[in-house]
């Protein structure tokens, strides 16, 4: 399976301001998740910030944390927002997105999210419940969030490319 490593593309002052913050908590088992949810019960109601790190691990941080802080300043395989719910006592994913303006990952980072959720013992939905399409305008250079399939730059009206083009990304071949 081909995954991609995304580099932080957000503002440098944000990266610097969170450089000493602890990275998100790695979640590699159901018990890791239960421990984290016990300490962060808001993740059930409000959601959490997540990244998938270069080791393919889900990392969680309280909602509104910067993704670059959650990632410890590193590249990520995926980033976005995640909300859990309980089905009986079992934690499940209620909502999950690739919404991260710090990393602007392509929607195909879902593959990394599904793998990481599987490792954490959480049943993954069939895909993102909310997908964000990030594109960089090749005329004015601004980053856009494409809404309703309208591939036109909101800053200068140029057409936006059909393929993801935010920044160079590194392909990583995995065996699983």
Which residues are near Zn ion by CB under 5 A?
A: 137, 139-140, 153, 155-156, 158
Q: Which residue shows structure tokens 């309703």?
A: 148
Q: Are 166 and 143 in contact (CB under 8 A)?
A: yes
CA quadruple 75, 76, 81, 87: dihedral, nearest 10: -150
Cβ closer to Zn ion: 109 or 137? 137
Choice between 69 and 137, CB closer to Zn ion = 137
The count of other CB atoms within 10 Å of the CB of residue 65 is 18
Query: Smallest distance, Å, CB 159 to Zn ion?
Result: 9
Q: How far is the CB of 147 from Zn ion (least distance, A)?
A: 15
Q: Name the residue nearer to Zn ion (CB basis): 124 or 158.
A: 158
CB-based contacts of 141, cutoff 8 Å, min separation 6:
none
* Angle, vertex CA 119, rays to CA 27 and CA 71, nearest 5: 40
For the CB of residue 137, give the shortest distance to Zn ion in the complex, in Å: 3
Closest CA to 107 of 164, 28, 32: 164
CB of 142 to Zn ion, least distance (A): 5
Looking at the Cβ atoms of 35 and 162, the one nearer to Zn ion is 162
């Amino acid at each position: 399976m081909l995954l991609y490593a995304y580099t932080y593309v957000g503002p440098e002052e944000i990266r610097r301001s969170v450089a000493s913050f602890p990275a998100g908590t790695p979640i590699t088992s159901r018990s890791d998740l239960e421990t984290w949810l016990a300490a962060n019960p808001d993740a059930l109601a409000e959601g959490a910030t997540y990244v998938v790190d270069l080791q393919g691990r889900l990392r969680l941080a309280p909602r509104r944390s910067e993704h670059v802080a959650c990632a410890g300043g590193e590249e990520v395989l995926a980033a976005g927002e995640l909300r859990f719910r309980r089905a009986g006592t079992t934690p499940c994913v209620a909502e999950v997105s690739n919404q991260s303006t710090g990393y602007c990952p392509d929607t195909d980072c879902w593959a990394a999210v599904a793998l990481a959720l599987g490792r954490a013992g959480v049943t993954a939905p069939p895909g993102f419940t909310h997908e964000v399409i990030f594109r960089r305008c090749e005329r004015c250079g601004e980053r856009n969030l494409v809404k309703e399939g309208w591939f036109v730059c909101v800053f200068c009206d140029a057409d936006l490319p059909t393929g993801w083009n935010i920044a160079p990304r590194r392909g990583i071949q995995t065996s699983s």
